[in-house]
Amino acid sequence: MTGDPRRSVPRTDAVLAEPPVAAAAARLGRELVKSAVQAAQQRVRDGDLPPGDVVAAVLGALPGTASSLRPVLNATGVLVHTNLGRAPLSPAAVDAVAAASGTTDVELDLRTGRRGPRGEGALSALLDAVPAAEAALVVNNCAAALALVATALGGELVIARGELVEIGDGFRIPDLLVSTGARLREVGTTNRVSLADYTDALGPGTGAVLKVHPSNFVVRGFTRAVEVDELAPALAGTGVPLVADVGSGLLRPHPLLPGEPDLQTTLAAGADLALCSGDKLLGGPQAGIVLGRAELVQRLRRHPLYRALRVDKTTLAALEATLRGPVPPVRQMLDADLGGLRSRATAVAEALRVAGVRAAVVGSTARVGGGGAPEFPLPSVAVALDVRFAEPLRLGPVPVVGYVDEDRTLLDLRSLAPDDDRALTAAVLEVARRWT
């Protein structure tokens, strides 16, 4: 029995008592760390791991946090990548989330000691950012905002057939609206709708006229749409609110995205309510933003469904910091100078070539993503590697997600912060090292 590998397996309590393992247990939780210890012990029994390497194996197997979510370097060139969590938060927003994670005054007036308005700071920041709005409301995403509007305004919703859109993962706007109990009054045809189509559809049961920006597709050719600035005057005096779902959360017009609707212009053109996402071009946390007439916003706020859809303190903190703080990462990516991108790519490629990795600097095309601005490609710059890098980079200790273009793996720098260039270079070198 002297050769029995079970005799050499370190005891569980002894491994857990090792200072670095005990520190990991305090940070990540005892059960998670214990599972890693048991996995390492089994490797010793199987003869795959020397007993003296158990502690190192346990520490190497543990995640950085108690969450299964892993930080990923987004080198896809898609600025707002839904599968990668959409907008990365700014450092100011991250700090705000950390500060708000404990006990906060989210709904307490510290001066009086009485209950205060929830998220007042975030709502004030929204109104400062979009002066055309009288009031603001925040719920957990844009679909929730649309559901709340449909429920609270009730009745029949007038909407153009060409705006009954489907977005990612089979989610259909008309299905959401009907699920609230609203009735849809479809007007126009798939490609054309007139002002008379809208006005002729109005009646005693009309709850609202709804405009939905078809953000992830474009219809060309023999088309006609009625924009907010044409529709709003026709609805004036009817008592029927005009609600515009602008989608991407662009606060004001942007020169690179001339066809993308923004909140300020939409409300100034006469929309009674404008809805958008907080985690797209606005650059903040996942949220549904409602801006517009005070009376309508208050009506939504007082509806019982709002309670089920409202956001938590950390979302409010991140949203306020995004609006009040420095330019968020998505805006920096959107505004990135092409010459600066080329300089960054050249530095990364040169560092790789010095280490013996074949790398080239090439022009590429980035996209807004998240269903925004499908017609407006963004000129960009990428580092081109051998196609074999794509999968091992994605599976590495620090996952890097690029994309394959014919026989190359492209790493687009427009969707990466400049501070990520060093980590990107290190990830590529680690893959190359494993191949040598």
Amino acid at 434: R
> CATH code at 417?
3.90.1150.180
User: Residue 22 sits in which domain range?
Assistant: 5-61
Are residue 321 and residue 249 in the same domain, yes or no?
Answer: yes
pLDDT at 4: 60
pLDDT at 351: 97
DSSP strand pairing (108-109 vs 408-412): unpaired
Are residue 323 and residue 338 in the same domain, yes or no?
Answer: no
Please list the ranges in the chain whose pLDDT falls under 70: 1-6, 168, 215-218, 371, 374-375
Contact 399, 73 (CB under 8 A): yes
Are residue 53 and residue 124 in the same domain, yes or no?
Answer: no
Q: pLDDT tens-digit profile of 321-378?
A: 999 999 999 999 999 999 999 999 999 999 999 999 999 999 999 999 876 776 688 9
**What pTM was estimated for this model as a whole?**
0.89
Can you point out the beta strands (E) in 214-309?
242-247, 273-277, 288-292
Helices 338-354, 421-435: crossing angle, 10 deg rounding: 30
Last residue of a domain, one of 294, 327, 360: 327
Are residue 307 and residue 406 in the same domain, yes or no?
Answer: no
pLDDT at 5: 57
The alpha carbons of the chain give a radius of gyration, in whole angstroms, of 26
pLDDT at 90: 96
Are residue 125 and residue 265 in the same domain, yes or no?
Answer: yes
Q: How many domains does the chain have?
A: 3
pLDDT at 159: 94
Residue with tokens 């200072």: 19
